[in-house]
Amino acid sequence: MPWEVLEFSDFFKFNWKDSIWNLTVVLGAIIGGFIAVQFLSNDRITDLNPATISELTALGFGNSGETLVPNELFNLEAITSIKGLAILIIGGLLVGFGTRYAGGCTSGHAITGLSSLQGPSLIAVIGFFLGGLLMTNFILPLLF
């Protein structure tokens, strides 16, 4: 049986009560995002490098910088297409899996890890950048 083959690791043994503070920070982050756009926004367009805008236009991304995320990836039309849905799911899987495998994300490794001068975090950040450079420079142009 698959569930016997996939032996549950100690990864799943944790106490929910000890993690309430984590979830509270996450809830705060959602509220923070809401406050920022509802009350602290001046509708300023993201001041991107003109070279970035023309590259993205050539790839098929219009109105670059007018929103925080491209409509071409996140609007209803995108998420109801197979390609668009696949991109969000694959992206989410990569970030979720990668964060746990590397033992941290941009906050945990790049910011707090490097701030506390830890070698493993430097390796992880090098990994973040290798992956990011690969995606933006070589894979993204193939997808669009």
Partner 1 sequence: MKYLKFLLVGIVFGIVLVKSEAVSWYRIYEMFRFQSFHMYGIIGTAIATGILFLQISKRSKIKSIKGADIFVPKKEKGFTRYIIGGLIFGLGWALIGVCPGPMYILLGTGVYSMLIVIAAALVGTFIYGLLKNKLPH
User: Which residues inside 63-82 make contact with partner 1, applying CB under 8 A?
Assistant: 64-65, 68-70, 73-76, 78-79
Site for partner 1 in 104-143 (CB under 8 A): 104-107, 109-118, 120-121, 123-137, 139-140
d(CA 84, CA 76): 10
Does position 58 interact with partner 1 (CB under 8 A)? The reply is no
d(CA 84, CA 135): 16
Structure tokens at 42: 């001046």
d(CA 10, CA 110): 26
Question: How many binding residues for partner 1 (CB under 8 A)?
Answer: 92
d(CA 144, CA 127): 24
d(CA 23, CA 19): 7
Does position 144 interact with partner 1 (CB under 8 A)? The reply is no
Interacting residue with partner 1 among 4, 16, 17, 51 (CB under 8 A):
51
Does position 92 interact with partner 1 (CB under 8 A)? The reply is yes
Shortest approach of partner 1 to residue 72 CB, angstroms?
10
d(CA 9, CA 12): 6
Shortest approach of partner 1 to residue 84 CB, angstroms?
9
Site for partner 1 in 3-42 (CB under 8 A): 6-9, 11-12, 20-21, 24-37, 40
